[in-house]
Structure 1
């Protein structure tokens, strides 16, 4: 039997309500380690909570954590919504987690990634009233992103994912499995941060580094302290914003359509691409090339057919004047 656990601290003084998640994916434990370290310091009085409240969830997906793998029954960070008829363990987590997120104003979700690389943050869209992801806290997200201690910030997740969903729907068979149906569901791109924005809050994903990088827990730990300080929750000064931030925009997702689809070489996230450079080949001989100068993001050589294989990103000037 697995259970869900959170730990909350509240100041007598009013202020923002922050929630910090670790191990949304069970093999991504840098956030868990950083959270436990901050909890210990708070309980020992190393620093003080002077306003607002903070809730820590060190292990968001206990089944996946126990199994030391990304998911229990499925990816928790996709199609995150409450349901009256849970079909898997992640549905049960969602029924507990989503109401908890809705009780807060700000989310910091701590992750790590498979291939080597430096830490980066993912932010939501610019302010907009569009149907896909209406949002009005872009300035607050940008300001927090600049204080997490990283020099690379990426946006464009949900709009890019929606394009992938639209393509999957065109080829979805009538007898498709539940897993295939989920990947073709418009809500499949909704994870913790997207859900938080949908209920009126704002949120950031921090990718703390490669799973086994010994510095990743330190990145998570420092980001939590920086967030507490920036929001005015702790007695520490607001950190200075990062300068010369590399801002990237995801604009395309490419799915693996066959088990024999293959990359032409081993790619790592944020490897640079030149326009026309060959990225991979389909099982039928089709060659996939970069449509412009940019970057490959989240390449997954182990992706299953019908799932996202890699993303493409290009540089933007979104953070040129942010502070």
Structure 2
């Protein structure tokens, strides 16, 4: 059994200065592709099969030990929402955040490894374009674009925090009750997870969704992504892993809405998979009240979750993005 009262943090410091990269897994306890991949990479580093050339590499294979031990997404709550250093910790995830947030802030970049509930292919998520706005000011679009283009996946998604902000506004409009859960899911900070927090400290961050939770190829997807990131940053020799050169242009999508489940009686019209195409007016599901939930425009459905709880995300909507990714240089 994994001890739940401490975090295991593995750090490799090269003798030459360079970037500081942190890689995290099992932020959601049952998402372990990254954890398996990191165990193999640590074995290779410890055995001399891989050599860190410069910089600092920090690996945290299991960020949420309680959720991992319970083999579920959360311990007391979703660690990857409303992430910030707590003034007074109120639950297990707050206590993890107290250690995790300063650890993230001590690094230049983050590769956060996840998996998802429904069937589908691996994909990655990037932050906003460079901007000086209030929601998520950012200045590292180039490095995120360069890293994500090399990970080995053919689909990239943007628009997370702006989509969440709109969803939160709707939640606030219908909120009732004063429970801690109700307060958390209607907090404007609720869309902030590991990558968003990392960007708020001045760093860059990529989320890699390595496939369905039980996909046997997931650990390989995670391992190759870690190695390719390290090679791009000049932290490993170029021959450490085969480079990824997409044969076709990467598919770039933008999230534009998140739809909450209102009742456990809300049901999908069919067994959706992430990134299934939808057409405007198509039936996505039916509320317990009988109200039909129709696609507002053509695009894709993302993260359809038959296990979501009332008041939390049921599915997301995405459409084609005009963003272009460049290969860039290491930072």
Q: Same fold (TM over 0.5)?
A: yes
Aligned equivalents of 2:157 and 2:213: distance in 1?
A: 19
| Alignment of 1:60 onto 2:57 | no
Give the alignment of 1:1-323 within 5 angstroms.
2-173=5-176, 175-236=177-238, 239-242=243-246, 243-319=248-324
Q: CA deviation at 1:167?
A: 0.7
Aligned counterparts of 1:150 and 1:11: Cα–Cα separation in 2: 28
Partner SS, residue 25 of structure 1: coil
Distance 1:320 1:111, change over 3 A: closer
Q: CA RMSD in A?
A: 1.3
2:76 and 2:307 map into 1 onto residues whose CA distance is 18
Aligned-pair distance for 1:241? 4.6
Deviation at 1:285, TM superposition (A): 2.1
Aligned CA distance change for structure 1 residues 286 and 231 (closer, same or farther; 3 Å):
same
In the aligned structure 2, how far is the partner of 1:139 from the partner of 1:87? Answer: 38
**What TM-score do the two structures reach when normalised by structure 1?**
0.97
What is the total number of aligned residue pairs between the two structures?
A: 322
CA distance in 2, matches of 1:25, 1:285: 33
Structure 2 residue matching 1:309: 3-state secondary structure:
strand
- 1:322/1:17 Cα in 2 relative to 1: closer, same or farther (>3 Å)? closer
Contact residue 142 and residue 326 of structure 2 kept, 8 A = no
CA distance in 1, matches of 2:108, 2:157: 21
Which runs of at least 4 in structure 1 moved beyond 2 Å after TM superposition? 236-243, 319-323
Residues of 1 paired with 2:64 and 2:159: CA distance? 25
Write the distance in 1 (CA, Å) between the matches of 2:245 and 2:106. 28
Query: Which residues of structure 2 form unaligned runs of 5+?
Result: none
Secondary structure at 2:127 match in 1: coil
Q: C-alpha displacement at 1:322, in angstroms? A: 5.7
Q: Give CA-to-partner distance per residue, 1:12-65, whole Å, 9 cap, x none.
A: 211110000011111011100000100110111112111111000011111111
Aligned to 1:92, the other structure's residue is in SS state: helix
- Given that 1:24 and 1:76 are in contact with CA atoms closer than 8 Å, whether structure 2 keeps it comes out as yes
CA distance in 1, matches of 2:75, 2:265: 26
Q: Distance in 1 between matches of 2:291 and 2:326?
A: 42
Contact 1:245 1:319 in 2 (8 A): no
Question: How far apart, in 1, do the equivalents of 2:82 and 2:303 lie?
Answer: 19
Distance in structure 1 (CA, Å) of the matches to 2:24 and 2:65: 12
Contact 1:209/1:216 (CA < 8 Å) preserved in 2?
yes
